[in-house]
């Protein structure tokens, strides 16, 4: 009411990596339900012209055919590890859709793959894999201890650099007239294993004492998504993982 925005980009969430989700499923469910309900309701009350809400590829069904497409979102149960987060986010999609159907609101949803980059949450316990591993590798080198990567390293992920996601969201805000959810992800061919990510990070720190701790969970093996719809809408060249990681690590070192 005070700011009177025309547009809302709804990124607020209680969010973290696999291990935060596993430890705090209930808390994450409740907080996100409240955040999402309030934001969407207020977008309606204050007559927002367009609201773009952020979902995640981790909320798709666990048991699916690959590559995953937008229309599969509600086709089955999400992975056990993060079902609190997933159902809260799936309801955000339903809530936006109901406003479109009932009030013709331009409330749409994007579905990004794993995100990384500057200004992330670098918590060792609760961060997502890239920021947690950057922090872990930094400390391992400093104290000359093994660089411990949780799980087997075999899971596959698509990673989008935060600058790319931000630029794409602005393009969607300005130019996308559709109502359909949009997966915002790097191409399938750029899918990469956690092991490869750990090796790249270790390479930037010039430290090769990597150990995989298989007492920890791997989470979902993969959640490969198809970005065809996005590519039909824009031709955007994504930052390659090496450049993105090197920018992120430089930022981390400068801001530690």
Stretch that binds ligand GDP, among 33-41, 86-94, 160-168, 211-219 (CB under 6 A): 211-219
The continuous run of DSSP H or E covering 9 comes out as: strand 7-10
User: Judged by CB, which is closer to ligand GDP: 42, or 156?
Assistant: 156
Each residue 65-104 as x (binds ligand GDP by CB under 6 A) or -, in order, gives: ----------------------------------------
Angle at 119 between CA 69 and CA 87, to 5 degrees: 35
Tokens representing 161 are 């650099």
Each residue 16-35 as x (binds ligand GDP by CB under 6 A) or -, in order, gives: -xxx----------------
Query: Counting runs of H as helices and runs of E as strands, what totals does the chain give?
Result: 8, 10
The DSSP code for 188 is G
Catalytic amino acids?
85
Please give the size of the binding site for ligand GDP, defined by CB under 6 A: 21
Contact between 157 and ligand GDP (CB under 6 A)? yes
User: Judged by CB, which is closer to ligand GDP: 10, or 79?
Assistant: 79
User: Judged by CB, which is closer to ligand GDP: 152, or 167?
Assistant: 152
Written as one string, the DSSP assignment of 49-95 is: SEEEEE--GGGSBSS--SSB-GGGTTSSPBPGGGHHHHHHHHHHHHH
Are 83 and 25 in contact by the 8 Å Cβ rule? The answer is yes
- Residues engaged in binding ligand GDP (CB under 6 A): 17-19, 58, 114, 128-129, 132-133, 136, 149-151, 155, 157, 194, 216-220
């Amino acid at each position: 009411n005070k700011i009177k925005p025309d547009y809302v980009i709804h990124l607020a969430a209680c969010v973290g990596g696999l291990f935060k989700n596993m430890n705090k499923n209930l808390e994450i469910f409740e907080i996100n339900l409240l955040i999402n309900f309030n934001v969407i309701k207020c977008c309606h009350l204050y007559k927002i012209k367009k609201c773009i809400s952020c979902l995640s590829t981790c909320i798709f069904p666990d048991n699916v055919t690959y590559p995953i497409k937008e229309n599969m979102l509600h086709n089955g149960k999400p992975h056990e590890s993060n079902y609190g987060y997933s159902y809260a986010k799936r309801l955000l999609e339903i809530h936006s859709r109901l406003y479109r159907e009932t009030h013709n609101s331009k409330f749409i949803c994007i579905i990004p793959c794993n995100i990384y980059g500057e200004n992330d949450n670098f918590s060792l316990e609760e961060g997502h894999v890239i920021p947690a591993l950057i922090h872990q590798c930094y400390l391992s080198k400093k104290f000359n201890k093994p660089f411990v990567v949780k799980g087997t390293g075999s899971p596959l992920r698509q990673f989008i650099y935060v600058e790319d996601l931000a630029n794409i969201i602005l393009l969607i805000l300005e130019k996308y007239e559709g109502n359909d959810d949009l997966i915002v992800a790097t191409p399938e061919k750029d899918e990469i294993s956690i092991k490869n990510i750990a090796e790249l990070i270790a390479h930037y720190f010039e430290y090769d004492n990597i150990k995989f701790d298989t007492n920890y969970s791997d989470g979902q093996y993969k959640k490969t998504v198809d970005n065809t719809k996005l590519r039909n809408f824009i031709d955007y060249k994504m930052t390659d993982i090496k450049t993105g990681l090197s920018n992120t690590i430089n930022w981390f070192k400068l801001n530690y």
